[in-house]
Protein backbone atom coordinates (compact mmCIF):
# COMPACT_ATOMS: atom_id res chain seq x y z
CA UNK A 1 0.00 0.00 0.00
CA UNK A 2 1.45 3.32 -1.06
CA UNK A 3 1.52 6.15 1.41
CA UNK A 4 -0.28 9.25 0.26
CA UNK A 5 1.56 12.53 0.76
CA UNK A 6 1.14 15.87 -0.95
CA UNK A 7 3.02 16.30 -4.20
CA UNK A 8 5.15 19.45 -3.91
CA UNK A 9 5.88 21.99 -6.62
CA UNK A 10 8.53 24.62 -5.99
CA UNK A 11 8.92 28.01 -7.65
CA UNK A 12 12.64 28.00 -8.32
CA UNK A 13 14.80 30.87 -7.11
CA UNK A 14 17.68 30.35 -9.50
CA UNK A 15 18.00 29.39 -13.12
CA UNK A 16 17.13 25.74 -13.45
CA UNK A 17 17.37 23.15 -16.18
CA UNK A 18 15.00 20.19 -16.31
CA UNK A 19 16.80 16.96 -15.41
CA UNK A 20 14.77 15.01 -17.93
CA UNK A 21 14.12 17.08 -21.08
CA UNK A 22 17.17 19.29 -20.36
CA UNK A 23 15.32 22.44 -21.28
CA UNK A 24 16.43 25.63 -19.63
CA UNK A 25 13.51 26.75 -17.57
CA UNK A 26 14.96 30.02 -16.36
CA UNK A 27 14.30 31.71 -13.07
CA UNK A 28 11.00 31.30 -11.21
CA UNK A 29 10.25 28.12 -13.10
CA UNK A 30 7.79 25.75 -11.50
CA UNK A 31 9.49 22.47 -10.77
CA UNK A 32 9.23 19.26 -8.82
CA UNK A 33 12.19 17.52 -7.26
CA UNK A 34 12.91 14.00 -8.38
CA UNK A 35 15.08 11.72 -6.27
CA UNK A 36 17.33 10.74 -9.15
CA UNK A 37 16.92 13.45 -11.79
CA UNK A 38 16.80 16.56 -9.64
CA UNK A 39 14.62 19.40 -10.87
CA UNK A 40 11.90 18.45 -13.34
CA UNK A 41 9.69 20.78 -15.34
CA UNK A 42 5.98 20.28 -14.78
CA UNK A 43 5.64 18.81 -18.22
CA UNK A 44 8.13 16.03 -17.51
CA UNK A 45 6.60 15.59 -14.05
CA UNK A 46 3.17 15.12 -15.70
CA UNK A 47 1.63 17.95 -13.73
CA UNK A 48 1.31 20.48 -16.51
CA UNK A 49 -2.36 19.76 -17.18
CA UNK A 50 -3.23 21.16 -13.77
CA UNK A 51 -4.31 24.77 -13.21
CA UNK A 52 -3.12 27.03 -10.44
CA UNK A 53 -5.47 28.08 -7.69
CA UNK A 54 -3.81 30.72 -5.51
CA UNK A 55 -4.25 30.50 -1.75
CA UNK A 56 -6.72 32.88 -0.21
CA UNK A 57 -10.09 31.20 -0.49
CA UNK A 58 -10.13 28.27 1.92
CA UNK A 59 -13.58 27.00 0.92
CA UNK A 60 -12.73 26.99 -2.77
CA UNK A 61 -9.35 25.38 -2.12
CA UNK A 62 -10.84 22.63 0.01
CA UNK A 63 -13.51 21.81 -2.55
CA UNK A 64 -11.14 21.94 -5.50
CA UNK A 65 -8.72 19.57 -3.80
CA UNK A 66 -11.54 17.20 -2.93
CA UNK A 67 -12.73 17.03 -6.55
CA UNK A 68 -9.27 16.74 -8.11
CA UNK A 69 -7.86 13.27 -8.70
CA UNK A 70 -4.37 14.75 -8.78
CA UNK A 71 -3.25 17.90 -6.98
CA UNK A 72 0.01 19.47 -5.87
CA UNK A 73 0.95 22.10 -3.31
CA UNK A 74 2.89 25.06 -4.70
CA UNK A 75 5.64 26.46 -2.46
CA UNK A 76 7.94 29.43 -2.77
CA UNK A 77 10.87 30.36 -0.56
CA UNK A 78 10.29 33.51 1.44
CA UNK A 79 13.50 35.44 1.82
CA UNK A 80 12.14 37.50 4.69
CA UNK A 81 10.68 34.61 6.65
CA UNK A 82 13.40 32.09 5.70
CA UNK A 83 10.99 29.29 4.95
CA UNK A 84 8.88 27.85 2.18
CA UNK A 85 5.44 29.34 2.02
CA UNK A 86 2.37 27.89 0.39
CA UNK A 87 1.29 29.86 -2.66
CA UNK A 88 -1.64 27.75 -3.65
CA UNK A 89 -2.66 24.49 -5.21
CA UNK A 90 -2.43 22.92 -8.65
CA UNK A 91 -5.69 21.14 -9.43
CA UNK A 92 -7.60 19.79 -12.41
CA UNK A 93 -9.51 22.46 -14.32
CA UNK A 94 -12.71 20.43 -14.06
CA UNK A 95 -12.29 20.09 -10.29
CA UNK A 96 -11.78 23.83 -9.96
CA UNK A 97 -14.86 24.48 -12.06
CA UNK A 98 -16.92 22.14 -9.93
CA UNK A 99 -15.63 23.77 -6.76
CA UNK A 100 -16.46 27.18 -8.18
CA UNK A 101 -19.95 26.05 -9.05
CA UNK A 102 -20.37 25.11 -5.41
CA UNK A 103 -19.10 28.50 -4.34
CA UNK A 104 -21.04 30.44 -6.96
CA UNK A 105 -23.12 32.27 -4.41
CA UNK A 106 -19.94 34.21 -3.87
CA UNK A 107 -19.79 36.71 -6.71
CA UNK A 108 -16.12 37.41 -6.21
CA UNK A 109 -15.32 33.87 -7.22
CA UNK A 110 -17.30 34.35 -10.41
CA UNK A 111 -15.35 37.49 -11.25
CA UNK A 112 -12.07 35.70 -10.63
CA UNK A 113 -13.01 32.84 -12.90
CA UNK A 114 -13.82 35.25 -15.71
CA UNK A 115 -10.45 36.88 -15.25
CA UNK A 116 -8.68 33.55 -15.33
CA UNK A 117 -10.50 32.40 -18.45
CA UNK A 118 -9.72 35.65 -20.22
CA UNK A 119 -6.05 35.32 -19.31
CA UNK A 120 -5.97 31.76 -20.55
CA UNK A 121 -7.57 32.62 -23.87
CA UNK A 122 -5.16 35.50 -24.36
CA UNK A 123 -2.25 33.13 -23.91
CA UNK A 124 -3.35 30.76 -26.60
CA UNK A 125 -1.95 31.16 -30.05
CA UNK A 126 -5.09 30.32 -32.03
CA UNK A 127 -3.38 29.55 -35.29
CA UNK A 128 -0.95 27.18 -33.66
CA UNK A 129 -3.81 25.44 -31.83
CA UNK A 130 -5.69 24.94 -35.08
CA UNK A 131 -2.64 23.49 -36.84
CA UNK A 132 -1.77 21.23 -33.93
CA UNK A 133 -5.37 20.03 -33.66
CA UNK A 134 -5.47 19.22 -37.36
CA UNK A 135 -2.29 17.17 -36.96
CA UNK A 136 -3.81 15.23 -34.05
CA UNK A 137 -6.92 14.52 -36.10
CA UNK A 138 -4.77 13.36 -39.01
CA UNK A 139 -2.68 10.95 -36.93
CA UNK A 140 -5.60 9.76 -34.76
CA UNK A 141 -8.64 9.87 -37.03
CA UNK A 142 -10.82 7.99 -34.51
CA UNK A 143 -10.15 10.19 -31.51
CA UNK A 144 -13.41 11.52 -30.00
CA UNK A 145 -14.76 14.77 -31.45
CA UNK A 146 -13.29 17.89 -29.90
CA UNK A 147 -10.48 16.04 -28.19
CA UNK A 148 -7.91 17.21 -30.73
CA UNK A 149 -8.58 20.81 -29.68
CA UNK A 150 -8.18 20.03 -25.98
CA UNK A 151 -4.86 18.34 -26.67
CA UNK A 152 -3.71 21.17 -28.94
CA UNK A 153 -4.62 23.90 -26.45
CA UNK A 154 -2.64 22.10 -23.80
CA UNK A 155 0.38 21.77 -26.07
CA UNK A 156 0.12 25.46 -26.94
CA UNK A 157 0.02 26.52 -23.29
CA UNK A 158 3.01 24.33 -22.59
CA UNK A 159 5.10 25.84 -25.35
CA UNK A 160 4.07 29.37 -24.49
CA UNK A 161 5.65 28.87 -21.06
CA UNK A 162 8.97 27.82 -22.47
CA UNK A 163 11.92 30.09 -22.80
CA UNK A 164 13.66 30.29 -26.14
CA UNK A 165 11.03 28.44 -28.13
CA UNK A 166 10.84 29.83 -31.62
CA UNK A 167 7.66 29.38 -33.61
CA UNK A 168 9.48 26.90 -35.80
CA UNK A 169 10.47 24.81 -32.82
CA UNK A 170 6.93 24.63 -31.47
CA UNK A 171 6.93 20.94 -32.27
CA UNK A 172 4.38 20.05 -34.90
CA UNK A 173 6.40 17.02 -35.90
CA UNK A 174 4.84 13.63 -35.52
CA UNK A 175 6.78 12.75 -32.39
CA UNK A 176 5.72 15.91 -30.55
CA UNK A 177 2.09 15.29 -31.48
CA UNK A 178 2.29 11.66 -30.38
CA UNK A 179 3.78 12.65 -27.03
CA UNK A 180 1.03 15.21 -26.48
CA UNK A 181 -1.67 12.65 -27.28
CA UNK A 182 0.00 10.02 -25.11
CA UNK A 183 0.16 12.37 -22.11
CA UNK A 184 -3.47 13.33 -22.63
CA UNK A 185 -4.62 9.72 -22.78
CA UNK A 186 -2.74 8.85 -19.60
CA UNK A 187 -4.35 11.68 -17.68
CA UNK A 188 -7.81 11.63 -19.19
CA UNK A 189 -8.46 7.96 -19.85
CA UNK A 190 -6.53 5.91 -17.28
CA UNK A 191 -5.85 5.60 -13.56
CA UNK A 192 -2.49 7.31 -14.01
CA UNK A 193 -3.23 10.48 -12.01
CA UNK A 194 -4.84 8.51 -9.20
CA UNK A 195 -1.72 6.32 -9.03
CA UNK A 196 0.55 9.38 -8.83
CA UNK A 197 -1.61 10.74 -6.06
CA UNK A 198 -1.26 7.46 -4.16
CA UNK A 199 2.52 7.89 -4.22
CA UNK A 200 3.52 5.78 -7.24
CA UNK A 201 6.47 7.28 -9.04
CA UNK A 202 5.97 8.14 -12.71
CA UNK A 203 7.70 5.00 -13.99
CA UNK A 204 5.65 2.63 -11.86
CA UNK A 205 2.48 4.47 -12.79
CA UNK A 206 3.33 4.52 -16.50
CA UNK A 207 4.04 0.81 -16.47
CA UNK A 208 0.73 0.15 -14.75
CA UNK A 209 -1.33 1.97 -17.40
CA UNK A 210 0.76 1.15 -20.46
CA UNK A 211 -1.50 -1.60 -21.74
CA UNK A 212 -4.63 0.51 -21.46
CA UNK A 213 -2.90 3.45 -23.13
CA UNK A 214 -1.68 1.38 -26.08
CA UNK A 215 -5.09 -0.18 -26.64
CA UNK A 216 -6.77 3.20 -26.69
CA UNK A 217 -4.16 4.78 -28.99
CA UNK A 218 -4.56 1.88 -31.41
CA UNK A 219 -8.31 2.48 -31.42
CA UNK A 220 -7.86 6.20 -32.06
CA UNK A 221 -5.41 5.43 -34.86
CA UNK A 222 -7.86 2.95 -36.30
CA UNK A 223 -5.31 0.16 -36.72
Query: Does 41 interact with Zn ion (rule: CB under 5 A)?
Result: yes
Query: Does 18 interact with Zn ion (rule: CB under 5 A)?
Result: yes
- CB closer to Zn ion out of 43 and 87: 43
Q: How many residues bind Zn ion (CB under 5 A)?
A: 5
From the list 6, 21, 108, 201, which residue makes contact with Zn ion (rule: CB under 5 A)? Answer: 21
Q: From the CB of 40, what's the least distance to Zn ion, in Å?
A: 6
3-state SS record for the chain: CCCCCCEEEEECCCCEECCCCCCEEECCCEEEEECCCEEEECCCCCCCCCEEEECCCHHHHHHHHHHCCCCEEEEEEECCCCEEEEEEEEECHHHHHHHHHHCCCCHHHHHHHHHHHHHHHHHCCHHHHHHHHHHHHHHCCCCCCCHHHHHHHHHHHHHHHCCCCCHHHCCCCHHHHHHHHHHHHHHHHCCHHHHHHCCCCHHHHHHHHHHHHHHHHHHHHCC
| Binding segment (CB under 5 A) for Zn ion, from list 7-15, 36-44, 153-161, 188-196 | 36-44
- CB closer to Zn ion out of 10 and 220: 10
- CB closer to Zn ion out of 45 and 209: 45
What residues line the site for Zn ion (CB under 5 A)? 18, 20-21, 41, 44
Amino acid sequence: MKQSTDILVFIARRNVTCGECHEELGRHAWITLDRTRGALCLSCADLDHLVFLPSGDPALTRRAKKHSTLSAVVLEWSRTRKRYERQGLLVEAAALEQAEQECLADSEVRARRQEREAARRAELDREYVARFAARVRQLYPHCPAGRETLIAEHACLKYSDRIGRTAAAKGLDEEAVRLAVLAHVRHAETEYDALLMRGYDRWEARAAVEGAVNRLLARWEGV
